[in-house]
Structure 1
């Protein structure tokens, strides 16, 4: 069966599934525009529908089937009614995390919750797979209101989380968030402007009275407490699966560990993975390795043509050479294989650096990523070393848990240790990403540190997707070296040195 699954709205994406392959395409990787909205992916969908004879086409935008029209402008011509299947948005979220857990599980709780939705922002399934709650939570909307107020646009929750460590808890702010949440939980439709405005009015004064970092810190603590309170009421299993945008909040995910034996979140937990959930649900098919299911583009003659225009010098590639460059303070970009699914770069589209000095973090923020000074970077750590470095953590393969460093460890890796002595951890195994694992292992043998700084390979735009994206971003940046599949491209003053491995 050939299935095309479509997600519209913000972060539009499509997945196409055959008997043995699933490919997931996030529209922003093609358009090069972050958090694209609505029908900007129409041309991609139209071409797919024209070129491939899909058996089923799945849509999962809202909770109300009557609201759904799959590209109505060409629906009759390209999509016969008998091929269309509608799945509710939060069911697709739940299906995504359920079908992508590494091992099949019969009994688990599933929490699908995000910023907002058309009718609700939350589904909760108990261990009997029964949907027991669809009430509005409202937490995600509080983060969206913060994002709009301070950054004048949505989807800036990552920046807010970066502030958390610099603030302190404030009871008065906490009380205001209590009042605002009580108002938002009246919502039947989360686009009810009157109720949202009522909540905004409650919060209005805090933005003028208190420091922004204290508001961020208190909102984080409030969100953790409310999530724990809710889960204590509905918990029915020892395992919890989380999906939805708030699943990107690593502080909350780590806190929940105290309630469950296992807390699992898949890499594209935001709306960027909704089309994957829709496809897997319709096919009733598991995908135990969901991290690297984006597009893969080999080095073509066109790419080689671009490279040949540069001055080239060949060296034999080896991990020791790359590790030496990192130890010398060079900033490395790594491009290989299929692109990552979701917002975290996990070693196929990554920027890597020596984590031992805080100076490297400041340099990357200011001169490479051109972003806020306070934002932290992730420690990519050998999986077997996680428990030696972090408290209450054994694995975090998708960089979705924020854990405390053990005493005396954070100081050794100042480049990936946030102000509150935490790190947004990526545990790396040989099975998940061999090249990244061997590179960290080589660095470990040289330095005694089983960690590299890891951040996404992008500069003020979506993560690079193609070899040409990688070359373009590398050429205009202050990056020192690019590993491009089987090539090493190195800057040497105004020249490039290409090494073929």
Structure 2
């Protein structure tokens, strides 16, 4: 029996996973315990959870694999440091940071003093981890694997071919050229300054026109071999000035990436406090189009090279669900897989599975497919009952009724009835989702038929920008009737066009351009959620519920206590904790 602990550490979205004999046992991001979005650092609580879930101690772990390798691309790093003019202080500070991070055993001893590790540690290059996290858990025997992100181990993109248990890395785009940096720079320029705000640009883009695409051809230049290059006049990261990425007290932040030359090209940047104007919407749309053009330019070149039918995606850019939804339309690929944590957290899985195949060699047959995302902590009925009892006085003060409904069909019918009446539901079930999307276990649910549901949710709970869309969770068999596609999208990683005649029936989950970021729900993958959506369909004729993450400007809730806190401090109408239905 072999246990491998995979880690993403000292970077945003710190995470841990545990693999036993080539099967995933548990995976979770550290932010869910620390309650700080994108928490970076050493994922000690995530490690403790993974060990608890497996019922083992650290002493029983054979290998610890981390998704970073300081030695990767070292000659390129040295050549760049010598020729680019970056300051010596900057280089030395980066080397100091990397030295602290490299001591995995020391960090385990410091952060988990009650545990003892006797196994072997492995550093696995960042983009190899991304590629492994996509291919080695995919359903395909053979696929092109592609990773695109900001930067990791001095490169921003990598690709290769996965076949059986083998995965090659055949090409890369190196620092300072990066599609992820381009998109992050445009995100900052439009006035969204926080780490991880790129999804706001993606949500804003459909409201604008691609008016700046010609100008942006100067910023991102497409090369004949399918790769891309940035015009560095428009960026600050290459000099070290704007590459001041750091994690302080667990909170990741980066310096301003765009240079003043960008103002000359696109006009003034938006102050985050200023209202959004049409020009900002047009810049967002143009940035999305520019990203897609470069992304599909690369994918088409890779298809021509490998002639494989399937492609798997990872890296932070794999969260661009709008682009993902066009892969099969704008490239010759016929099959696509994106696992639920495509970004840096997912590198923990990549490190673990890459190490499994490396250490076991021919013995490491691929037999695990990640077809659901439910790999995090759950709560027992007793833990839920205790959490409710602790807050009973608060529930009474809020005028709540509390009812335990042991029969699942009855529980789902009651909940579906409340959704159909326009109520907002907090839905807390089973194991926590792996990755940033709530997929029916830590979700806030609403009626997709109500045109005002977005406003209701933003007013009552989310308090976020009005342009940001909410997602439809749909029964898998109903997809072709409602969408212009027929595909499995269990992780909400692709946006597809909703059939024109259906858009008016589900306005709350239809984007302004007639699309939706769907999640397909199956009875095998999540039977209770499927039963709830079926109950809603029986009441309304619509096999879809509106789904958004169970949180309020915080990480998705992990424990029942956090779900109760969120319910009581917002104006949510109903909370379903396991079998218990709580109603205001």
Q: Do Structure 1 and Structure 2 share a fold, with TM-score over 0.5? A: yes
Q: Deviations over 1:423-462 (max 9, x none)?
A: 0011111111111111111111221111110000000000
Q: Distance in 1 between matches of 2:415 and 2:64?
A: 45
User: Are 1:458 and 2:551 an aligned pair?
Assistant: yes
In structure 1, what is the equivalent of residue 421 of structure 2?
A: 328
Could you tell me the TM-score, scaled by structure 1's length?
0.89
Query: Is the CA contact (8 Å cut-off) linking 2:403 and 2:582 kept in structure 1?
Result: no
SS of the counterpart of 1:356?
Answer: coil
Shift of 1:124: 0.3
In structure 2, what is the equivalent of residue 306 of structure 1?
A: 390
Of the structure 1 ranges 124-133 and 427-436, higher mean CA displacement relative to structure 2 is found in: 124-133
In structure 2, what is the equivalent of residue 216 of structure 1?
A: 284
In structure 2, what is the equivalent of residue 178 of structure 1?
A: 220
Shift of 1:324: 1.3
Shift of 1:304: 4.2
Shift of 1:288: 3.0
Q: Deviations over 1:108-137 (max 9, x none)?
A: 100011122231011101356432211235
User: Are 1:12 and 2:14 an aligned pair?
Assistant: yes
In structure 1, what is the equivalent of residue 131 of structure 2?
A: 94
Q: Which sections of structure 2, spanning at least 5 residues, go unmatched?
A: 75-97, 223-227, 244-255, 270-277, 358-365
SS of the counterpart of 1:200?
Answer: coil
In structure 1, what is the equivalent of residue 181 of structure 2?
A: 141
Of the structure 1 ranges 311-320 and 154-163, higher mean CA displacement relative to structure 2 is found in: 311-320
User: Are 1:38 and 2:41 an aligned pair?
Assistant: yes
Q: Distance in 2 between matches of 1:47 and 1:446?
A: 39
User: Are 1:193 and 2:240 an aligned pair?
Assistant: yes
Q: Distance in 1 between matches of 2:496 and 2:390?
A: 42
Q: Structure 1 pair 412/178, CA: closer, same or farther in 2 (3 Å)?
A: same
Query: Is the CA contact (8 Å cut-off) linking 2:146 and 2:158 kept in structure 1?
Result: yes
- Counterpart of 2:170 (choices 132, 139, 159) is 132
User: Are 1:293 and 2:366 an aligned pair?
Assistant: no
Of the structure 1 ranges 28-37 and 311-320, higher mean CA displacement relative to structure 2 is found in: 311-320
Q: Structure 1 pair 243/159, CA: closer, same or farther in 2 (3 Å)?
A: same
Of the structure 1 ranges 200-209 and 423-432, higher mean CA displacement relative to structure 2 is found in: 200-209
Query: Is the CA contact (8 Å cut-off) linking 2:403 and 2:580 kept in structure 1?
Result: no
In structure 1, what is the equivalent of residue 295 of structure 2?
A: 227
User: Are 1:438 and 2:531 an aligned pair?
Assistant: yes
- Counterpart of 1:238 (choices 306, 309, 333) is 309
Q: Deviations over 1:56-114 (max 9, x none)?
A: 1111124635856134755788887961111111111111111222x3x3321000111
Q: Deviations over 1:344-391 (max 9, x none)?
A: 100000011100122011111232101001111001111111111111
Query: Is the CA contact (8 Å cut-off) linking 1:138 and 1:184 kept in structure 2?
Result: no
Q: Deviations over 1:206-228 (max 9, x none)?
A: 15287111001011111111111
Q: Which sections of structure 1, spanning at least 5 residues, go unmatched?
A: 492-501
Query: Is the CA contact (8 Å cut-off) linking 2:132 and 2:350 kept in structure 1?
Result: yes
Q: Distance in 2 between matches of 1:194 and 1:45?
A: 35
In structure 2, what is the equivalent of residue 499 of structure 1?
A: none
Query: Is the CA contact (8 Å cut-off) linking 1:345 and 1:456 kept in structure 2?
Result: yes
Shift of 1:257: 0.9
Q: Distance in 1 between matches of 2:486 and 2:268?
A: 38
Q: Distance in 2 between matches of 1:47 and 1:356?
A: 39
Shift of 1:175: 3.2
Could you tell me the TM-score, scaled by structure 2's length?
0.77
Q: Structure 1 pair 51/126, CA: closer, same or farther in 2 (3 Å)?
A: closer
In structure 2, what is the equivalent of residue 494 of structure 1?
A: none
Q: Distance in 2 between matches of 1:315 and 1:4?
A: 38
Q: Deviations over 1:239-283 (max 9, x none)?
A: 000011111111111111122110110011111211122222222
What is the count of residue pairs matched by the alignment? 487
SS of the counterpart of 1:131?
Answer: coil
Q: Structure 1 pair 21/143, CA: closer, same or farther in 2 (3 Å)?
A: closer
In structure 2, what is the equivalent of residue 52 of structure 1?
A: 58
Q: Distance in 1 between matches of 2:121 and 2:186?
A: 38
Q: Distance in 2 between matches of 1:155 and 1:347?
A: 23
In structure 1, what is the equivalent of residue 450 of structure 2?
A: 357
RMSD of Structure 2 on Structure 1 (CA): 2.9
In structure 2, what is the equivalent of residue 159 of structure 1?
A: 200
SS of the counterpart of 1:240?
Answer: strand
Query: Is the CA contact (8 Å cut-off) linking 1:398 and 1:426 kept in structure 2?
Result: yes
Query: Is the CA contact (8 Å cut-off) linking 2:495 and 2:518 kept in structure 1?
Result: yes
Q: Structure 1 pair 392/287, CA: closer, same or farther in 2 (3 Å)?
A: closer
